[in-house]
Amino acid sequence: MKTRLLLNIALALLMARLKQSIVAAAGVTFGIAMFIALISFMTGLNKMLDSLIINRTPHIRLYNAVAPSKTQPVDRAGEFAGFRNFIQSVKPKDEGKRLYNASRIIKAIRADGRVIDVAPKISTTVFFNSGTIQLSGMIDGVDVQLEQKLFHLNDNIIQGTISDLGTVNNSIIIGKGLADKLIVKPGDVVQVTTPDGDIAMLKIVGIVQFGIAEVDDVQSFTSLQTAQKLQGKPAGYITDIQVKLKDITLAPVVAKEYARLFDMDATDVQTANAQFETGTTVRNTIAYSVSVTLLVVAGFGIYNILNMLIYEKMDAIAILKATGFSGNDVKTIFIQLSMVLGVVGGIVGVLLGYGLSLIISHIPFETSALPTIKTYPVNFGVTYYLIGVGFALITTYLAGLFPARKAAKVDPVVIIRGK
């Protein structure tokens, strides 16, 4: 009963200074709305960039780096034992890129509970023939279903689909920049020359664009079977094993474990994209710093308004104390008054923030570099709405606590005597 009475008094004080109360609540509303809109946009932007780079990169890549033989013939000569040998007569071989026992390795990795799935790949350089001109490029032979499952390649294919590689023999999906240079389109046939000098004719079934010119000018995809046939390799030939983990943060540790276990080279996604991840961290830090500043400024606004309200309501506070209300009761009234502003401002701020985020997500974002993205990216994660409301409540509580403590110490005799 007493709590309800104190709340009614707090509401009466708010209504007595309705304009000031609206201004205070508006400060909270604006702070939360800008926090939600800014964080939603920045994290959405980061997710989009992640999808362009990190999502297209395996968490762990297993391969055999082309390198000279670790044991050279001169090392076997006893008369040169203890000497520093500079002669390396056994040169690297292209066969060194092949992963032996690949099927067993893939089976063992799939049995690891930390792994989502594994996708084999064949990577090779080629020349695309355009009249008398040869353009260098890169062909990745992929397992069609696994490539789509793990890396969502269809999201970057602007013409055709990745499934066409599995249904059309001797087919290829080429990068947008490469297609423009060759002046080709889906349905055309392109002539490809391998490093060994073999020539093959491949039918274009799609165009892919990642928005990175250096990639779009050279990258192309075909099926595993076509890549093996292109190089004249047997069915079990692969050069890379791509691993997707359930927890990406484990990639560095698991990569070292696999490299030691399977005796091959391994690269993790953090190492391969260290600069990109640093940029993401910096952008998130800036966004959170600006957003929190907005909420703190709103809290100071409430603090100033409550301070003024106390000075204007000194006579009312004195009457309350003279009629039997304790200092704690007065303190509770002003804290409740502050929390009402926080709750009302928080609810309206969440709705306004969602509306702003919705508007941003419908603003056209058209660029030739990213044709698959039509509007600005926004992340509608519930977490940011909860953080905004929680921070607003804490800020308004602290903003009301100090004026409330001051009001609780008011001496009613001094105030009434002065009146």
170 sits in the region (left: phi over 0; alpha: psi -120 to 50; else beta) called left
Please say which residue of 272, 306, 324 terminates a domain. 272
Rounded Cα–Cα distance for residues 291 and 247 (Å): 29
The DSSP H or E segment spanning 81 is none
* AA letter at 356: L
Q: Is residue 40 part of a domain?
A: yes
* Same domain membership, residue 24 and residue 171: no
* Same domain membership, residue 225 and residue 363: no
The count of structural domains within the chain is: 2
Please say which residue of 272, 297, 325 terminates a domain. 272
CB of 342 closer than 8 Å to CB of 395:
yes
Rounded Cα–Cα distance for residues 43 and 39 (Å): 6
* Same domain membership, residue 64 and residue 46: no
Rounded Cα–Cα distance for residues 365 and 377 (Å): 9
* Same domain membership, residue 299 and residue 242: no
* Residues forming beta bridges with residue 175, ordered by sequence position: 208
Q: What is the largest CA-CA distance in the chain?
A: 112
**Cβ contacts of 270 within 8 Å, gap of 6 or more:** 251, 252, 277
Please say which residue of 255, 272, 289 terminates a domain. 272
* Same domain membership, residue 70 and residue 195: yes
* Same domain membership, residue 305 and residue 261: no
Residue range 346-350: mean pLDDT, rounded: 87
Q: Is residue 89 part of a domain?
A: no
* Same domain membership, residue 212 and residue 197: yes
* Same domain membership, residue 371 and residue 311: yes
Token digits of residue 98: 């092949």
Three-class DSSP category at 275: helix
C-alpha neighbours within 13 Å on the C-beta side of residue 266: 20
pTM of the model: 0.66
Residue predicted with more confidence, 298 or 59: 59
**Cβ contacts of 303 within 8 Å, gap of 6 or more:** 399, 400, 402, 403
Residue range 188-208: mean pLDDT, rounded: 90
Q: What's the 3-state SS for 130-159?
A: ECCEEEEEEEEEECHHHHHHHHCHHHHEEE
pLDDT of residue 12: 73
Domain carrying residue 370: 2-53+276-418
**Cβ contacts of 257 within 8 Å, gap of 6 or more:** none
The position carrying tokens 């403590």 is: 405
* Residues forming beta bridges with residue 204, ordered by sequence position: 172
Token digits of residue 336: 């409740």
Residue 1 banded pLDDT, cuts 50, 70, 90: very low
pLDDT of residue 10: 67
Task: Write the pLDDT tens digit of every residue in 90-129.
Answer: 555 555 577 888 889 999 999 999 999 999 999 888 999 8
Q: Of 155, 154, 166, 150, nearest to 118 (Cα)?
A: 150
Task: Write the pLDDT tens digit of every residue in 168-188.
Answer: 889 999 999 899 888 899 999
Three-class DSSP category at 43: helix
Q: What percentage of the chain exceeds 90 in pLDDT?
A: 19
**Cβ contacts of 31 within 8 Å, gap of 6 or more:** 294, 295, 297, 298, 299, 349, 392
C-alpha neighbours within 13 Å on the C-beta side of residue 140: 22
Q: Of 38, 26, 45, 28, nearest to 356 (Cα)?
A: 38
CB of 123 closer than 8 Å to CB of 138:
yes
* Same domain membership, residue 168 and residue 284: no
The DSSP H or E segment spanning 386 is helix 382-408
DSSP summary character for residue 375:
B
Residue 82 neighbours by CB distance under 10 Å: 6
Task: Write the pLDDT tens digit of every residue in 301-347.
Answer: 667 766 676 666 666 766 776 677 777 777 777 777 778 877 888 88
* Same domain membership, residue 332 and residue 193: no
